[in-house]
Amino acid sequence: MSMIPYAKQSISEQDIEAVNEVLRSDFITQGPVISQFEEAVAKYCGAKFAIAVSHGTAALHLACLALEVRVGDIVWTSPNSFVASANCAIYCNAEVDFIDIDPDTYNICIDSLTLKLQQAEKDNRIPKVIIPVHFSGQPCDMKALKSLSKKYGFLIIEDAAHALGAEYTDQKVGSCAYSELTIFSFHPAKMITSGEGGMIMTNNPQLADKIKRLSTHGITRETGLMTEESHGGWYYQQLDLGYNYRITDIQAALGLSQLRCLDEFISKRKKLAERYNHQLQSLPLTMPWQNPEAQSSWHLYVIRLNLKQLKIDRKSVFEQLRQAGIGVHVHYIPIHTQPFYQERGFRQGDFPESESYYQEALTLPLFTDLTEEQVDFISHKISDILLSNLNPRFL
Ligand SMILES: *Cc1c(COP(=O)(O)O)cnc(C)c1O
């Protein structure tokens, strides 16, 4: 029996044709489609600038570099994220710390953040950058973050790897209305794919130029930026230490073609999520929170098991579902509990909300081409497992 995956790309004949067209053209790497893709995402999100790069992790790294995160600086992010959200600061030799999550939203908790900032101010250790993560596609409380950033003077990079197409106070995530920079990922599990790929959004022209340059070795061909007169048509100068984080035209063609279907992808995901909500409503579990000021992109559908009402744990539910051919997953193992971060001084217990969430969380399959029948099958299976394992003390 084949497993229903937790996530899966949706590739149309139109997508394949768009990629073929690039393969038949003169340029397969730095051709015209990359800027078309960038302009299309910028327009979609309502941001002035977009820079396409090789993956979301590269986007995070470049975002940190552009904000001059370096040794001696501190960066805070959510422990409930993929490791890349924290690693990007380590790449820049900065120090990482975490803000515990809100037990209802699974995004960073604004109250914990406020307390942590008050303490940091006393200790003279205000972070240079905070990286909020729009977990599962539900936007964070960006108004609160923005007002704290004004008060304490930190900068904001939104990790919107899950949230392309999500809306917050009637603006698309990626508009950078509440941040310096926003990053997206186009990994096949995410909202749209370019194979591997990522993008950085900003309204700041200096940051956009700098990121563009850093994505290609720190090299410029603009005479205005050079320290001496050009030697001729071949000439370029390396101004900073950059990287090869370029995306290809082949990938950009896929991403651009996929973008045309994004709204349709989201409305299909939303319908499926509502079907799950309906089917799962009376079980001992918590369904996904919805920000009243926002529209989720519905990247992930995460349930939180009410373990007190059950006589089995999450692992057992996970394994029984996997055995039934349902590719459930868990997002995320709290980053600070990873051995790499434990070696840097973090301990189990440091961010208790993210840790207790982790004990109870289960990601159900959700992707554009998942069918209603599959949602019903998965829901029934969950219902069977949970109802036959109720804790007798709670019956
Ligand atoms: C996927 C993901 C990334 C990294 O994106 P890649 O394109 O895989 O490098 C970063 N942050 C979060 C929250 C993600 O889910």
pLDDT in tens, 64-78: 999 999 999 999 999
Q: Is the CB of 329 under 6 A from ligand 1?
A: no
Sorted by where each begins, the domain ranges of the chain are: 13-259, 262-394
Distance of CA 84 from the midpoint of ligand 1 (Å)? 6
pLDDT in tens, 315-369: 999 999 999 999 999 999 999 999 999 999 999 999 999 999 999 999 999 999 9
Reply yes or no on whether the pLDDT at 1 is more than 80: no
> Residue 277 and residue 83: Cα distance in Å, rounded?
29
Q: Is the CB of 162 under 6 A from ligand 1?
A: yes
Residue type (1 letter), 57: T
pLDDT band at 262 (very low <50, low <70, confident <90, very high): very high
Write the secondary structure of 77-107 as one string of H (helix), E (strand) and C (coil).
Answer: ECCCCCCHHHHHHHHCCCEEEECCECCCCCC
Per-residue pLDDT, 393: 83
Tell me if domain 13-259 and domain 262-394 are identical in fold. Answer: no
Q: Is the CB of 81 under 6 A from ligand 1?
A: yes
Nearest to 199 by CA among 36, 43, 55: 55
* Maximum distance among all Cα pairs of the chain, rounded to whole angstroms: 82
pLDDT in tens, 354-371: 999 999 999 999 999 999
Q: Is the CB of 187 under 6 A from ligand 1?
A: yes
Q: Whose CA is nearest to atom 10 of ligand 1?
A: 84
Pocket test for ligand 1, best of 57, 251, 329 (most atoms within 8 A of CB): 57
pLDDT in tens, 117-161: 999 999 999 999 999 999 999 999 999 999 999 999 999 999 999
> Residue 54 and residue 42: Cα distance in Å, rounded?
17
**CATH hierarchy code of domain 13-259:** 3.40.640.10
Distance of CA 54 from the midpoint of ligand 1 (Å)? 12
Nearest to 297 by CA among 257, 265, 339: 265
Percent of the chain with pLDDT over 70: 99
pLDDT band at 236 (very low <50, low <70, confident <90, very high): very high
Reply yes or no on whether the pLDDT at 384 is more than 70: yes
- Average model confidence (pLDDT) across the chain: 97
Query: What's 262-394's CATH class?
Result: alpha beta
Reply yes or no on whether the pLDDT at 313 is more than 70: yes
Q: Is the CB of 84 under 6 A from ligand 1?
A: yes
Nearest to 333 by CA among 354, 363, 312: 354
Distance of CA 374 from the midpoint of ligand 1 (Å)? 27
Per-residue pLDDT, 135: 98
Atom of ligand 1 nearest to the CA of 187: 7
pLDDT band at 395 (very low <50, low <70, confident <90, very high): low
pLDDT in tens, 269-282: 999 999 999 999 99
Percent of the chain with pLDDT over 90: 98
Q: Is the CB of 77 under 6 A from ligand 1?
A: no
As a whole number, mean pLDDT of residues 289-314 equals 96
Write the secondary structure of the chain as one string of H (helix), E (strand) and C (coil).
Answer: CCCECCCCCCCCHHHHHHHHHHHCCCCCCCCCHHHHHHHHHHHHHCCCEEEEECCHHHHHHHHHHHCCCCCCCEEEECCCCCCHHHHHHHHCCCEEEECCECCCCCCECHHHHHHHHHHHHHCCCCCCEEECECHHHCCCCHHHHHHHHHHHCCEEEEECCCCCCCEECCEECCCCCCCCEEEEECCCCCCCCCCCCEEEEECCHHHHHHHHHHCECCEECCHHHCCCCCCCCCCCEECCCCCECCCCHHHHHHHHHHHCCHHHHHHHHHHHHHHHHHHHCCCCEECCCCCCCEECCCCCEEEEECHHHECCCHHHHHHHHHHCCECCECCCCCHHHCHHHHCCCCCCCCCHHHHHHHHHEEEECCCCCCCHHHHHHHHHHHHHHHHCCECHHHC
